[in-house]
Structure 1
Amino acid sequence: MAPNDRISMSNSTNHGNSKARSENGEVEEHKCESVGNDGKEPLFGTRTAKFRGMHVTSAVPKDRQDVLKWNGWGYKDSKFVVKNNIIEFTGKRYPIGQLSLPYFTQWVIDVFDVDISKSNIPQPPPKEEDYPVPKIDKAFLAAVENLRIAYSIKGIDRLIRAHGQTLHDIFVLRTGFFSRIPDMVVWPENHESVVKLVQLANQHNVVVIPFGGGTSVSGAVSCPANEPRPIISLDTSQMNHILWIDRKNLVACCEAGIIGQDLERELQRFGYTTGHEPDSYEFSSLGGWVATRASGMKKNVYGNIEDLLVHVKMVTPTGVLEKACKAPRMSCGPDFNHVILGSEGTLGVVTEAIIKIRPLPQCKKYGSIVFPNFESGVNCLREVARQRCQPASIRLMDNEQFKFGQALRPTPGYFGLLLDGLKKIYITKIKGFDVNQMCAATLLFEGEKKDVELQERKIYNIASQYGGVPAGETNGERGYMLTFVIAYIRDLGLEHDVVGESFETSVPWDRTLSLCSNVKQRVVKECKALGIKKYLISCRVTQTYDVGSCVYFYFGFKCTGLPDPLGTYEKLEERARDEILSSGGSLSHHHGVGKLRAKWFPNQVSQLGVQLYRATKEQLDPNNIFATGNLHSSHL
């Protein structure tokens, strides 16, 4: 391979010329590729990479609490707040930032009957003396210091890495304390450091829980309460190099701690993209994507993480698991990449991955379609999947989410929304759509301009056969971007006696509609039995496949007066999950199992499957150093 075909790098935010190491170790200058709109082979531009050994300047610093909330979702400067009895969204990071939201305010009042003038004040961060005294193995600590690996036993560092983003996690942070948190946080800076750390942990019987972006919604990074051994949180955030880009083979080698937005930003400086964009893309890490078998919103074009992964290293107590060959496909027995994919920190630590990349698309275009009802929309998505003409993203909201999306706007007509003025008249009067039945799909097309145009025509033609009406690019773009804002709503709810969460599944096409209906009906029935009068249960189809779909549910209720709001929610979600499984759905499409869904795991994979997993665990981690408790891993 010529030196120009592979760029060894660790990315810089500088825009001037700098240098990179070629494969033979020589220092050479390389310029970043920029993609033009003529469809020709892109030429090198002016931006460059730097030596390996320098980190990407991440959007999330080592001291996460400087930028991110310690007890909620996302950035500290971005949140829903109430000012003069009107809800606003702060900050400038998102399209609705610094805008007053009167319609959303009314939606919240109508759906949940809350008094937004009153709010619950979460507890302040604990003082250092309030944290449990860490259990420290002195010999292990001395060895870590000897290796010059950064570590901390500060309470706030330990607390931030003691949880993910489940409702349980955030509720506890606001009202109480975890029964167990890590005793120490370590920040290795490369694969070799992780190998040494894991060997030390195995030698000293210290538990290791890998920590990536902290976005888990399965309880995966929480510490088992009954674990008597010292626990370290192995934070991979400082392992965030892009080690090299191979533009001839269209792959990149990256360290596992790099987060999605950093990876995309730096790849795009060189004219490339992974195309992997999960809802948590701003904060989740590459290693986390691999460990949870993640899916992204644009998987139709770029694939899920298992499709993007070419090669991966995982450090275990008995060695490094990786393939010797980096070919695109091998017929050499079972694919051990799939032992690592979905292992959820129970077998080892993912340290490096080679993933596919693609040149930036020449054309990117949004779209949207309104359907008279959810059934029509699902049937349309199924036909689009059958004809295999899915755009990069196609997602269908049910009526409840449709109305929610319409409410989340500042002023009439500002975004050209569907229920404003002439558009409402056309949809409801001329087309005869019922506002309380209609739903909408958002679309994102990426690719060559001529291919996008052809795909648009084909999809809109299919939609028309199911009563669908094109609703414009603005609605599509807005609906797509609001995905990143929705997660912030839960924190607002907690301040006003509303608890809520999302959960997902995958299901065959012939059971998609019945599953959605069954789960909603089950939740409504259970809420009524508990005397809960104000609640919301809604769903959307977020991914489509040849044989089925991914369905995402949102559920929340007013908890004023309930003695145990968190326990009540968890009981209701558990019953919803039972209904999902009995309706033909999977345990998870992309959130993973963790501890939250571990009790259902054996029935999903069979008892023989559990035995096979445990045999793998025994081979790779015989002392159960990776005792996360996920996937029943602690029950050897």
Structure 2
Amino acid sequence: MASAGKGGDTGGSRTALHVRSVVPKRRQELLKWDGWGYKDSKFDVDAVSGIIKFTGKRYAIGDLELPFFVEWVLKKFDVDINFSVSRDSLEPGDDLCPKSLISDELLEEIKDLGISTSMEFMDRLVHSHGQTLHDIDVLKRHKFERVPDVVVWPTSHESVVKLVELADKRNMVIMPFGGGTSVSGANECPAREMRPIISLDTTQMNKILWVDEDNLVVCCESGIIGQDLERELRKLGYTVGHEPDSYEFSSVGGWVATRASGMKKNTYGNIEDLLVHVKMVTPRGVLEKGCRVPRLSCGPDFEQIILGSEGSLGVITEVILKIRPVPKCVRYGSLVFPNYESGVHCLREIARQRCQPSSIRLMDNEQFQLGQALRPRPSYFSSFLDGFKHAYLFKIKGFNVDTMCVATLLYEGDEDQVIAHEKKINSIAAQYGGLAAGKTNGERGYLLTFVIGYIRDLAYDYNILAESFETSVPWDRAISLCRNVKHRIITECSKNNIKHYLMSYRLTQTYDAGCCIYFYFGFKFEEHTDPFGMYAMIEEKARDEIIACGGSISHHHGVGKMRRKWYKETVSKPGYNVYVATKAELDPNNVFANSNLIGELKPKSKL
């Protein structure tokens, strides 16, 4: 039994766990330095057959031929898959490295704290970016204007406290870095920052400090990666259940810092629902509650300042999250609808009755077609079954392959509950013309989420830029928002002579009062001189349309630098000023000068 004490220790049976991190200290040893995911995992074109395969064994489609994908790419983008663009993916040399601004004296002071450091260019480079198209453009073209001056790997809360104190005293900048999966520009170094920039990599703070089975909570360091946390908890029979698309590589601290959401939020909640206690080190001290309780009425909740702060106020070091026993039954399912509108109305009714499964996501026809293209070559038996289902859907039920859409579902719980739940969902779907389409389609659709990011890297080799962006919106505006944003993008493509493009959307999370919608946009750019600028312009127009239609600037990706122009409008001028005042109180010398949310600020006393 543990004793009560500072930081929320209230007793209960505790188990500490040693964690082997999936992400090495030098992450470029395992992960791509200029793209998404593992080095050994990618979409590749077989030189002999001309068929696309996915390499490696990490994912369900690994080493399987995807012949329908080639047909889809040709039809959608008029691309000859046998002729890719030759691009230099060699790691850049030290001759391209911007000179470090940190002095030998400052570097020695950091080392004297017992913290591991690196000034090697590749370490500095991989800590200078996330996963936006702008980041990829910088990496592919070797246009490195500003990168961190030194990378550090603290291993404890106490070492972070010492480093923040040193940075505040010696006029240095700290940029916290977790999994490196940001798609908001949050990791980009401000180009005009002339103070030494320290990239504080939290991934060596990856311990599970304890698991409290009496109170069903886990305390872990902020750098632990999602899949590592889940793997170790499942050995004890527990789960956090937080599963964002970036779950394989993103960190717990990153989840808190961006107010993240996961695919199974209907059962487990978003990160703010899972959070019990958090520590954040600021230049003014450690911000945390003095007790760990399920809820308290004690004025404004200052943990809400930490949630969504995006590394601009301090470093999150320790997090306590709720856990649950691993569900006894996990079942996938899928539904097909004659059109997207019918599917939206169905998901609205499911939300109204508060009977959502752990995950329910509705894809429009474009994504349905893409999902079909990513299926492997069928066996004779599966071809027969596909033919039978085809006849039933299109000849008997009157579905149209050019308008139909699909919803993928994941049920978790006791087996009897799951069976009853699935029956109820199928009954509601039938009221809106929906039909159950089996667990295989549901499982494939759910698991393909983890390989979608790899498609972007393949597309770039064929002069195609593609990216996603998301929003949240009230139910009564969901359909019109999708329609209007799609029309806006089609209009912009026409204006800019873009002939081959993809524009699609899916509804990914549902609530009582609204839902989250993900947009996917990609276009063939071989005739455009500044394709990355073109994409950024079109996405900005789309975001303006989203806001005009009543949507938010983000549901779970955060603000970063890409969406900060809309931040004040979103939170109101008084809300904006409250954040600025909070920044001035917690970080008066602007140590955490990553310029996320509100842009560049000058320190009060040291510049």
Amino acid at match of 2:224: I
Q: CA, structure 1 residues 342+536, in 2 after alignment: closer, same or farther (shift >3 Å)? A: same
Q: CA deviation at 1:63?
A: 1.1
Mapping for residues 309-348 of structure 1, pairs under 5 Å: 309-348=275-314
- SS for the counterpart of 1:369 is strand
Mapping for residues 428-447 of structure 1, pairs under 5 Å: 428-447=394-413
Q: Which shows bigger deviation, 577-586 or 82-91?
A: 82-91
Give the distance between the partners of 1:2 and 1:453, measured in 2 at CA. Answer: 41
Amino acid at match of 2:38: Y
Give the distance between the partners of 1:5 and 1:348, measured in 2 at CA. Answer: 30
The answer to whether the 8 A contact 1:396-1:442 is kept is yes
- Answer yes or no: is 1:87 the counterpart of 2:94: no
Give the distance between the partners of 1:181 and 1:10, measured in 2 at CA. Answer: 35
**1:190 aligned residue:** 156
- Answer yes or no: is 1:402 the counterpart of 2:365: no
The answer to whether the 8 A contact 1:395-1:543 is kept is yes
Q: How many residue pairs were aligned?
A: 592
Match of residue 65, structure 1, among 5, 23, 28: 28
**2:194 aligned residue:** 228
- SS for the counterpart of 2:174 is strand
- Answer yes or no: is 1:74 the counterpart of 2:40: no
Q: CA, structure 1 residues 292+2, in 2 after alignment: closer, same or farther (shift >3 Å)? A: closer
The answer to whether the 8 A contact 1:140-1:200 is kept is no
TM-score by structure 1 length? Answer: 0.91
**1:615 aligned residue:** 581
**2:72 aligned residue:** 107
Mapping for residues 111-510 of structure 1, pairs under 5 Å: 111-123=76-88, 124-412=90-378, 416=382, 420-510=386-476
Q: CA deviation at 1:396?
A: 0.2
Q: CA deviation at 1:537?
A: 0.3
Q: CA deviation at 1:455?
A: 0.8
Q: List per-residue Cα deviations over 1:559-598 (Å, max 9, x = no partner).
A: 0110001000000000000010001100000000000111
Q: CA deviation at 1:414?
A: 7.9
- Answer yes or no: is 1:604 the counterpart of 2:570: yes
Give the distance between the partners of 2:381 and 2:79, measured in 1 at CA. Answer: 27
Amino acid at match of 2:43: F
- SS for the counterpart of 1:632 is coil
Q: CA deviation at 1:218?
A: 0.2
Give the distance between the partners of 1:492 and 1:142, measured in 2 at CA. Answer: 43
The answer to whether the 8 A contact 1:412-1:420 is kept is no
**2:539 aligned residue:** 573
Q: Which runs of 5+ in 1 are unaligned?
A: 12-55
Q: CA deviation at 1:167?
A: 1.0
The answer to whether the 8 A contact 1:418-1:471 is kept is no
TM-score by structure 2 length? Answer: 0.96
Q: CA, structure 1 residues 245+417, in 2 after alignment: closer, same or farther (shift >3 Å)? A: farther
Amino acid at match of 1:9: A
Amino acid at match of 1:295: S
Q: List per-residue Cα deviations over 1:187-220 (Å, max 9, x = no partner).
A: 0001000000011010111011000000000000
**1:634 aligned residue:** 600
- SS for the counterpart of 1:483 is helix
Amino acid at match of 2:114: R
Q: CA deviation at 1:634?
A: 2.1
Q: CA deviation at 1:635?
A: 3.5
Q: List per-residue Cα deviations over 1:93-142 (Å, max 9, x = no partner).
A: 11111011110011011101112222223321111232112111333212
Amino acid at match of 2:192: N
Q: CA, structure 1 residues 255+448, in 2 after alignment: closer, same or farther (shift >3 Å)? A: same
The answer to whether the 8 A contact 2:222-2:319 is kept is yes
Q: Which runs of 5+ in 2 are unaligned?
A: 4-10, 603-607
The answer to whether the 8 A contact 1:443-1:476 is kept is yes
Match of residue 558, structure 1, among 500, 506, 524: 524
Match of residue 17, structure 2, among 10, 32, 37: 10
**1:522 aligned residue:** 488
Give the distance between the partners of 2:2 and 2:281, measured in 1 at CA. Answer: 31
Q: CA, structure 1 residues 386+417, in 2 after alignment: closer, same or farther (shift >3 Å)? A: farther
Q: CA, structure 1 residues 2+530, in 2 after alignment: closer, same or farther (shift >3 Å)? A: closer
Q: CA, structure 1 residues 382+625, in 2 after alignment: closer, same or farther (shift >3 Å)? A: same
What is the root-mean-square deviation in Å for CA atoms of aligned residues? 1.4
**2:605 aligned residue:** none
